[in-house]
Amino acid sequence: MSRNANSGAPAPEGGWLDGEQQRAWLAYIRVQLRLTYEMNRQLQSDDDLSLPDYDVLTALSVADGGLMPITVLAAQIGWERSRVSHHVRRMAKRELVSCSPSANDRRVTEVSLTQHGRKVLEAAALGHVELVRRLFFDGLPRELVGPLSQALESVYANIIAQGTLPPPVDWRPPRGE
Amino acid sequence: MSRNANSGAPAPEGGWLDGEQQRAWLAYIRVQLRLTYEMNRQLQSDDDLSLPDYDVLTALSVADGGLMPITVLAAQIGWERSRVSHHVRRMAKRELVSCSPSANDRRVTEVSLTQHGRKVLEAAALGHVELVRRLFFDGLPRELVGPLSQALESVYANIIAQGTLPPPVDWRPPRGE
DNA sequence: AAAGTATAGGTGACATGTCACGCAATGCCA
DNA sequence: TGGCATTGCGTGACATGTCACCTATACTTT
Flag whether pLDDT at B142 surpasses 90: yes
- Compute the residue count for chain A: 177
- The torsion defined by the Cα of B83, A58, A125 and A44, in degrees rounded to 10, comes to -20
Flag whether pLDDT at A48 surpasses 80: yes
Asked if strand C comes closer than 7 Å to B17 Cβ, the answer is no
User: Which nucleotide minimizes the distance between its C1' and the CA of A40?
Assistant: D18
Q: Which residues pair with B99 in a beta bridge?
A: B111
Quick check: B123 and B47 in contact, CB under 8 A? yes
Q: Which of B4-13, B20-29, B91-100 has the lowest mean pLDDT?
A: B4-13
Flag whether pLDDT at B158 surpasses 60: yes
How confident is the model over A121-141, as a mean pLDDT? 92
Alpha-carbon distance A1 to A18, whole Å?
Answer: 10
pLDDT tier for residue A96 given thresholds of 50, 70 and 90: very high
Q: What per-residue confidence (pLDDT) applies to A155?
A: 94
- Give the start-end residues of each E strand in chain A: 67-69, 97-101, 109-113
Flag whether pLDDT at A160 surpasses 90: no
CA of B98 and C1' of C12: distance in angstroms? 23
Flag whether pLDDT at A11 surpasses 80: no
CA of A77 and C1' of D25: distance in angstroms? 46
Alpha-carbon distance A42 to A38, whole Å?
Answer: 6
Flag whether pLDDT at A117 surpasses 50: yes
pLDDT tier for residue A16 given thresholds of 50, 70 and 90: low
Q: What per-residue confidence (pLDDT) applies to B133?
A: 93
Domains of chain B (ranges, CATH numbers): 34-162 (1.10.10.10)
Q: What per-residue confidence (pLDDT) applies to A90?
A: 92
Within an 8 Å CB–CB cutoff, is residue A108 touching chain B?
no
Q: What letter does residue A69 receive in the DSSP assignment?
A: E
Out of A6, A20, A145, name the one closest to residue B20 (CB).
A145
Alpha-carbon distance A54 to A136, whole Å?
Answer: 18
Q: What per-residue confidence (pLDDT) applies to A35?
A: 87
Work out the mean pLDDT of chain A and round it to a whole number.
84
Residues 65-104 of A with CB under 8 A from B: 77-80
How confident is the model over B96-121, as a mean pLDDT? 93
Alpha-carbon distance B125 to A162, whole Å?
Answer: 19
